[in-house]
Amino acid sequence: MALTSAVANAAAAAAAAGAGKKAAQVQLQAELNTDDEWNKFINRDGLLVIDVYTEWCGPCIGMVGNLKKIKVELGGDNLHLAIAKSDTIECLKRFRKRSEPTWMFIAAGQLLNVVFGADAPRLARTIEQELQNEELARKGERERPKRAPHELTPPEQEVAEAKEKLQQERRAREEAAVEAARIMRRETRACRLETHFADVCPALVMPHAQKHLRKITDALEPHGVILADKCPILLGKDGVRVLGVEELELATEAAISAIAERPSLALLLKKTPEKDGDVIELCRRALYGDGVKTGDGEPNKKVPAEELRAESTPGVYVPADRHQRAAVLDLLFPKQMVSSLVEPGPPPTAPHIALMFGAWQRRALLAVCDTSRLLHYGFFADASLTEPKLLAKNIEQYELRPEKDFSETIVLMIAVGLAAPELADPKDIPPQGPPEQLLALGPLHVSEDAVVGAEECAKFFPPGYSEPEPKPKQKPKKKKKTKRHETKEDLTEESNAQSQSIETGEPGESEAAVEGDNDGDAEVEGDVEGEGEVEEDGEDGEEQQAVDKATSPPPPAPH
C-alpha cells in the first residue's frame, strides 16, 4: 500500500466515522514490564512493533510522533505498538547492554525482524514491508519465519559471530601475554638462583615413602650425588597447588589428599666436586632412569620412582629442569637458605586495563569499585592517552587542590584476571572483562584488552608510582640580624629634639609617624568595608549561575 493511497483511505475513514475522532485517541503504545505482560502481548493478532529499551537508556521518545503517524496511515488495527523494558523481561536479556534504539517485529509469536537505530525513514519502510508480508501470510501466500523472539535473526547472528571471533582473538592475545610474562619471571628467577645453587637440586619424599629414604640415597650415590640436608615440611593446600603446577601427577585429588595434611620430607641433594654433569640430570637418571638405555635381553629394572609409587601418588619428586628447581627451592627452603642469598622477586602483576572517567565522578567510582581489583588510580589534567599529566595520586591529594575543572579525569587500573591463575582457587578467579558496575557509570575510555591496557597503564602509572613521595627538605632558618647599637651622640640628638617639641607643642617625628599610620589604617578600613559591600552584591548574583566543577558533570556541548 503506497503512502499516498493510505493517507487518502485514512482521511475517508475519518470523514465517514465523524464524531470528531482523532488519531490521538488511539492507544499508541502498550507498556511491557514483566514476563506475563510480554507473553500476553506477543500473542496478539497483526504485526507487533516493539521498542526495546533499558532502564538506564529509556525508550526512543523522538520516534513517538513518527510511530503515531505510521499507525494511523498504514497499520490501523493490524499494527500494534509497545515499549518493553529489557531489564525485567527474560526474553530480552540480550538487549540489556545496548544503548541504541532497538525495534522488534513480531507476528503470530514469531520474530520477523530486528532494526537498530533511530532511522525514521528506514523504520517506516520496514513497517510497510512487514505489513505487506503479514497480509500475504494471512492469505496463505507467504510463510512466516519460524523463529522465537529470544532467538537471533541472521544479521544478529553474523554480528554475534564477529564479536565472538574478536573476543577469542583478544583472549588468545591476553593468554599469550600472561604466559610470556610467566616464562620471563621463571627464567629471571632461575638465573638468579643458579648463581648460588648450580650444584644443588631439591627433592621431595612423600609421606608414605619416607621410610625408604635409604633406598633413595643408595641410588644417588653411584651418580655422584649426596644428601646434603633434609627437613620435614607440611605443605598444605597452597604448597601442593604449587607442586601441581610443576608436576601434573601431584595435582590429582589423591595426591593432594595424601600430601596436604601430612608432613613430607624435603631433601637437598648436592653433586660431589669430582663429578661432571648437571646435577638435575644426574638425579633424574638415578631416580627416574632418564637417559638410561637397557641392553638387548636385559630385564627392565625398576627405578626408585616406580618402586615408591603408591597407586597414582608418586613417592618422590625431583625437578625436571632449572625453572622447576628454582620454584621448588623457593617452596621447600624459602627462609633458611634461599632468602639469605637471593632476595625474593617482585610479586607478579595481574593482567589489567585502564578505565577513564571524569574526575567529578570520583566519589561514586571509589564507592562501587572492588578494591581487590583496583591496582592503582590517579587524577590527570585531561583525557590524553599519550601524554598524561598527573595531578594527584589519591583522592586526598586531589581534594586539597583549590581549583578543579571539567576537563580533569580519574584513571583506574583494574585487574581483569590473575597473574598466576594456575595457582588460584577457581572461585577466586574474577570474571573476564571490566566490572559491570564501573561500565554503568559511563567511562570516557576503556582499554581494548589487557595487552593494550598494559601499554596504556604504563604511561599513567610508571614504575615507582606507588612509592611514597620524598618529603621536601625544610629550608634553614635565617639568623636574625642584631640591631646596631646607638651611639651616645645619636641618643643626645634624639633627646634634644624631643625637648624642643615639648616646648613648642609640635609633635615629634615619631609621634607624627604614628598618627600618620593610624590615619592610613582608618582609610584602609573604610576601603575594605566598601569593597565588602560590593563583593557581597556580586556574590548574590553569581550564586545562581555557579556550577561546582568538582562534583558536577560537564555542561552539554552547544549544538
- CATH architecture assigned to 180-292+303-333: 2-Layer Sandwich (3.30)
DSSP classification of residue 481: P
DSSP classification of residue 476: P
* pTM across the whole model: 0.65
pLDDT means over runs of 10, the chain (559 residues): 42 42 53 92 91 79 73 76 91 86 92 89 89 89 90 90 90 89 93 92 94 94 94 90 89 87 93 92 92 57 88 91 94 83 86 95 93 94 94 94 92 90 76 86 92 95 84 63 53 56 48 45 43 44 52 65
pLDDT at position 513 is: 43
Show the 3-state SS of 296-357: CCCCCCCCHHHHCCECCECCEECCCCHHHHHHHHHHHCHHHHHHHHCCCCCCCCCCEEEEEE
Residue ranges with strand state E in 68-221: 79-85, 102-107, 110-116, 200-205
DSSP classification of residue 553: P
CATH superfamily name and code, 29-151: Glutaredoxin (3.40.30.10)
Ramachandran area for residue 451 (φ above 0: left; ψ -120 to 50: alpha; else beta): alpha
Distance separating alpha carbons of residues 415 and 374, to the nearest angstrom: 7
225 beta partners = 271
Residue type at 308? Answer: L
Which has the closest alpha carbon to 380: 361, 407, 352?
Answer: 407
Distance (Å) of CA 369 to CA 374, 443, 461: 7, 13, 18
pLDDT at position 41 is: 93
pLDDT at position 200 is: 94
pLDDT at position 395 is: 94
Distance (Å) of CA 227 to CA 284, 373, 385: 14, 45, 57
Domain with CATH 3.40.30.10 in the chain: 29-151
pLDDT at position 553 is: 76
Domain with CATH 3.30.70.141 in the chain: 180-292+303-333
pLDDT at position 477 is: 62
